A = this chain, B = another copy of it.
Amino acid sequence: MHIREFQKMMHDIYFHRDSKRGIEGTYKWLVDEVKELGEALRNGDRQDISEEFADVIAWLASLANVVEVELEKAALLKYSGKCPKCSKARCECTF
């Protein structure tokens, strides 16, 4: 599935709720989901980890919907087959 299709699916399921919650509230949910992903990585099984990855990308898409950012366009504008810092197809940044 395209990133933009996934974002559209999140819009269809959740935008009526996300838009009411707003940017700050939706951002806080994203932060909580990232924490849950961290906990799953430390203590969870493969299914927990898989579900937490799903939740993080879902809430990132929800937040992008509230902010009116096209996630796929944003991602490909910065990452287009090479590192945006060193411009190499296989990153050679020294930091």
Contacts and interface: CB of A to CB of B under 8 A. Distances in A.
Contact of A49 (B2, B58, B67, B75): B67
Interface in A13-29: 13-14, 16-17, 23-24, 27
Interface in A23-77: 23-24, 27, 30-31, 34, 37-38, 41, 49-51, 53-58, 60, 64, 67, 69, 71-77
B13 A90 contact: yes
21 contacts: A2-B2, A3-B3, A9-B81, A12-B89, A13-B83, A13-B90, A13-B91, A16-B91, A23-B41, A27-B37, A31-B38, A49-B67, A50-B73, A51-B77, A53-B74, A54-B78, A54-B79, A55-B78, A56-B60, A57-B71, A58-B78
Sorted nearest first, the 7 A-B pairs with minimum C-beta distance are A54-B78, A50-B74, A53-B74, A54-B74, A54-B75, A57-B75, A13-B91
